[in-house]
Every structure is written in C-alpha cells, then in structure tokens.
Amino acid sequence: MSEFLPDLGIVTQIIVVVAAFSVLIFVHELGHYLAARLTGVRVERFFIGFDIFGLAIKKEYRGTVYGIGILPLGGYCALAGQNDDPRKERQTDAPDELQNKPLWARALVFGGGVIMNFVFGFLVLIAAYMYGIPFIPPVLGQLDPSGPAAIYGFQTGDRVLSVDGRRVTSFEEAAEAIALAGAGGELDVDIERTGPDGNREQMTIRVRGRASNMRGNLNSIGADPERSRIVAGVVDDPLFGELLVGKLGVGDEILAVDGVEIPLNRGEMIEELVAGRPGQTAELTVRGRDGQIRTFQAPLETFGEWDLGLRIAIQTVRVTPGGPAAQAELRAGDLVVAYQLPGDAEPSRFASTREFLSVVASAALHPITIDLNRRGDVLTVTATPEVAAVDALYDIEADTLLGVTGTMEGEQGFLIASVLPGSPLAGTAQPGDYIEKLNGEPLPAGKSIREAVEDAASVAVRLFVKRDDPEGEILVAGHREVPDANLTLRLSPRVSTEYRRPMIGVENTAGPITTVVPGSFADTVLGGSERLAGSRLAVLQYSPDLGTTTLRFLFPEGSPYGGGLKTFVVETPEEIRRDPAAAGLASRLPVMLRTAEEVIPMSFVPAVAAAGRKWVDLSLMVYRVLHKLVVRTLPLDAVGGPIQLFRIIKIADDRGFAYFLYILALISVNLGVCNLLPFPVLDGGHLVFLLLEWLMGRPPPLAVRETAQWIGLVCLLFLMLTVTGYDLLHLFRGTG
C-alpha cells in the first residue's frame, strides 16, 4: 500500500491516483502558463480541477483568476483571445492577446505544456534513478513447458541482453519488446547463459511467440521472471491459515528449506524441494519482518487428481478454424463422451482432461516406412517422426518431423538438403537423397513434406460426441457404441507449429460426469452414477496431512442431491495416503513469492545518463505502439484507458517511492508525446494550424478549422470511449 498515506484500502488508492493525475495536469498547464508569461500573453484563468457549480476556491491576482476546482481530474489555462471553437475566437487590437502574437510566440505557448511534460519527466527520472528504481532483472525463471521459450531452447537462468536488436535492462523491457512483435511474431533474442563449465556464453535464438491470454492477447514466449525468496502472500484457506498464523506472513524471507539454503533470487528452488512430498511438512528457516530468524515445520499443499472412478465428458469451448477438429465438424459446445483408437475393441470414456490430451498425443507420429532414393538405389527404412530437438543454429520452422530440410521436387519426391543431428533420419539419410514414398505411397501433390509425414504417421481417432441440436442438423449418422452419444467423428491430430505437440484444434474444459466405474471410490462412497451423472466436479482439495479429501460438485436441477453446489468431506483412501506420488499427486508450499527485484541507486551523473536514455526510449515508445496499431500488429484493446492508468499507478505505489516516480515520469512523457499528435483539439493540432499559416502566409479558412476541430473532437471521443470500454471489459474478465 501507499508509502505516503495510511492504509485506508480503496480510499488510499483513489487519493494516490487522483494526486498523481493532478500533479501531471498541473505540470502541463503550468507549461502553457509560463510560456504565455514569457511571451507577454495575458492569462485570464489558471485552474487545477474543474469549477463545478461555482464551488472552486478562486483568487484574482494581477488580472489572472487562479483557482482549484472541486473535481480534481482536469485543469486549464485560459489565454486572452484564445478559444478552441474557431467561431468563438475573439480578437481585438490588444497586444497581450494570443492571436496578436507572432507565430513563434504562439507556437511556444501551444507547445509549452508538452515541453514542461518532457522536462518534468526527465527530472523525475533522474530523481528515481538516484533514489534507486526497483527493477526485475531480465533473467528467465520458470518456463511454460509447452511455451515457445521452452520449445525453442531457452533455459531457466538465461539473461536476456536484447530483443530484435533493442537492448533491455529489465524483464519489463524484454516483455514489452516481445509484446510489440504482435501475437505469433518472430524475434531474435540475444541471451547470456552459464555453461556446464561455469563460463558465460552468448547466443542468439530466433523464437516465434504466441498470443497470451491477457490484455490484447499480446505476444508472449511463455517465460516468467525469477522469483525471490520473499513471501508475497499466503494461500487464503483456513486449513493452512490456522497452521501458519504467527509463523509465516507477507514480507517474510524464506532462507532455507529442510536445511538447503535458498539463494536470494532463486525462489523456484523452494518449489523444486517440496514438489514430491504430498501430505508431508517441510522445515522452513524464515527471517521475519522484525529481523528475527525462526525455524518451524510448515504444511505442504497437495494438488492433483487420482482416479476417483468418475468418467467425464470433454466440453469444447472453442474450435480453431481450419484445424482437424473443425474439418471433422466438431463444434463449440459439443460434449466428447468417449474415444476409440485403432485396435481398441470398444470405446473408452475419459477420466480427466489430461487423459483426453494424452489420447490426442498418442494418435500422432507413429512409425512409418520411408523409401529413400540415393542416386538410383532405393533404401527402405523405418523411422518414428518426432518434434525435433531445438538447436540455436537450426531453423525450427523448416523442421519436417523427420529432422531434414530441403525442397519438394515434384514426382521425384523431396530433395534432402541437410539432416539435423540426433533426428529420426540422422545416420540414415544424406544430403542429396530423395524421399520418394511414405508407407509405400508417393508423396501427395500440393502438400509440404511436413503435412505428408503427418498424414502417414497419424491414425484416426473416433470421438463419440453428444450434441444438443434442437434444429436436428446433425450431419453425421450416430453410432450406438456409446448410448449417450448421438454423433461419431473421425479426426487425425496434427503437430501444432506453435505449441510443438499433437493437437486437434480445440479449447476444452471438463464437462459433466457421464458415468461412474462400478466398485470405484465414486461408486461406493459418493453414490454412483445414479446420483453423480450430469454433475460437474468443481473443487478437489486435500487436508494438509492428506487424511481427508474435500469434493464439491455442481448438480443440475432435479438431481437426487438437488441443484447447486454440494460438498463432500471424505476420508482419503489408504492406498492414496500410502503412495500419493504414484497416484499422481504433488505438493507445494502454500505461499506466493515476490518477483525477484534489484535496486541500484545511482549518483547524479550516471542517473542523468540513464534518465536521458530512458527518456528517449519512452518518447519513441508511443510512436512504436501507434505504428503497431496502424499496421494491425497490435489490437486496439491492447491500449489502456483511465482504468488501466489507475491500475498502473496503484501498482507503482505498491512497489515503492522510486518506482512510483518512474511511472509518474513515464505517464508525463507519454502525455507530452500524445499531446503532440496532430488532432486539432490537442496541442499538436494547434501547431499544425500554425505550420499551415506559416506556409500559406495567412491562417487557414475558418470553415476548414471548424470542420477539422469537430472531426478531431469526434475521433478523440470515440478513441476515449473505445479504450475505456476495453478497460471495463478486461476488468470484468480479469485479463489485466
């Protein structure tokens, strides 16, 4: 919470945000005021805040009315002879009116606010660097195993040096540069890595990002920053709260786990040390906020799901256009209740979404026979396609699942140009060989070698689907091997070039329970199919000692248990308690850790140099973002409005005084740059009119200025309403 005010919750946050906005507005209007005084233009009114109902505090001094309005979200500097509406401009022969001043003087007055925003931002940046801005080092922490960073060969501990040639000094800068590439954009990332011998080496990895699930679906590579060993929060659960009260809290520092020391910025080690111990405790050595060091046993939170005997439907949330699922005519909202692989005697139902993903993966990349033509001699070999191991010097997009690159040569087949070491055809195929046939069939015309290999190596899965179709438009005749399915679809998984694993092109979630295995835990303890079918398992939670399991089901109206949520607290079976890891359970410490941060205060001269570099970068950032918006690399909902600014300032205040100054400088510079945009209602628009007056030798016609003002005003209002609407949308969705 705020370093400047007592913690009053949302009241404090609002006060801090309003104060920050008021300072920025005052600085901008002060720029116009000082420029007017310097050029001899009379200032009629100088207000911070809006004068609502005449309740502002006012004072006239030397012909200028100064005031503080009761609505502190704006301000203005009214100059003699100026009016934003060209029809209402009043001009006399008075020498102190704005319109009677020379062009250079009017340009200085209109640009004064922008100049002051730039100067203020630069000075505040110097102060922030001297105080010591907390920044997140550009070092990769935990990687999403299926994310681009892991797939393209990044490792935990890699330090990012630059992104597409742009030098980065913090994780925020690296993430920002990656985001601006647009969802799915390719980037060259320069990293520094510690090798096995302890030496540091530098390398460049070209990576294709993917859309994140946060605001604007911005580009991401699936890497988090390093975590510190400082506690940011404790799981909000009475089971753990009572056991940890007085022992572990926000701001405490975990020094060791079971005697193993945790380095300052290696909080990930804590997760590694406790991962395989569900139902147990861990000995923590903690330095509290009071500086005292204490050691105690902390409970571990168990997570995961063992086979309860429930068989569920997989509900498709979204179907990717053009993917195998879409081609098989699977639709959003369908319930996949069972599957059948070639060779299976009968269909099988799903125990979890994890099993669904496993089935999809197992249906792709089976062994195939390959006919190689080597200067007239035909060699027949067997190989299993695979997702290629990543090499920093290898073009991952050229991978064909056989680890070869080359070109399609029509009826001759695929001409191999190179073979990736360690790939399926390494040691067998050579550059100059032709791949003629796969599984005895010539390569299909019009397809890439990758598509041909996928066709040859994938098997068709039968999915048994329940579709509620009141209009009776089911296109494929139903098969009755599964009683509650009215549709059977066949599809072959494809290896996603983005996620590098077999997929069918759907987003899915666990759907309703369709049946219960006879004699299972769910049958004997929870009531079996008659009571559970049609419900959804909403919560699965374990007590710290694994003695009990809490299950919460959402029942439909009319079920034997009645509609709504019902909670069961049951004894965990002995075989699960005896070997929880074998049952698929894992553990973690019930805390959240702060992101690793570094604070390096600077002396005056280095602070000025650092502030200058950052000032230039911030000034250009607005134009980089605008360019990305125009070329549609970034969607409009990536831009934040007033609610997003509120959130940013609030987060900055939480991270300390220096970071608050940094964000204040960032917004000040952005405000200055945005005011230079050539919208007629902004300072930049006024400067454009002055430029036209200089070029034409006279002011533009009144009709032109009036039309431009209205167009600019409508565009600006539309933009403000749009970004505010997106703000509200992301607020309700929780996407940042």
Please identify every residue annotated as catalytic: 29
Strand partners, 254: 286
Are the C-beta atoms of residues 468 and 292 closer than 8 Å to each other? no
| Structure tokens, 208 | 């294709």
Burial class (CB in 10 A: 0-12, 13-18, 19+), 171: buried
Are the C-beta atoms of residues 462 and 421 closer than 8 Å to each other? no
Give CB contacts under 8 A, 24+ apart, made by 417-423.
420/388, 420/389, 420/391, 420/394, 421/391, 422/389, 423/386, 423/388, 423/389
Nearest to 45 by CA among 63, 31, 28, 27: 63
CA–CA distance, 109 with 81 (Å, rounded to integer): 13
| Structure tokens, 426 | 């390494």
Burial class (CB in 10 A: 0-12, 13-18, 19+), 421: exposed
User: How many Å is the Cα radius of gyration of the chain?
Assistant: 32
Taking phi over 0 as left and psi of -120 to 50 as alpha, with beta for the rest, 622 belongs to alpha
Give CB contacts under 8 A, 24+ apart, made by 446-453.
448/400, 448/408, 449/400, 449/402, 449/404, 449/406, 449/408, 449/414, 450/399, 450/400, 450/401, 452/414, 453/368, 453/385, 453/400, 453/401, 453/402
C-alpha distances in angstroms, 542 versus 308, 310, 527, 575, 724? 14, 18, 20, 15, 42
* 3-class secondary structure per residue, 392-454: CCCCHHHCCCCCEEEEECHHHCEEEEEECCCCCCCCCCCCCCEEEEECCEECCCCCCHHHHHH
- Counted residue by residue, the chain has a size of 736
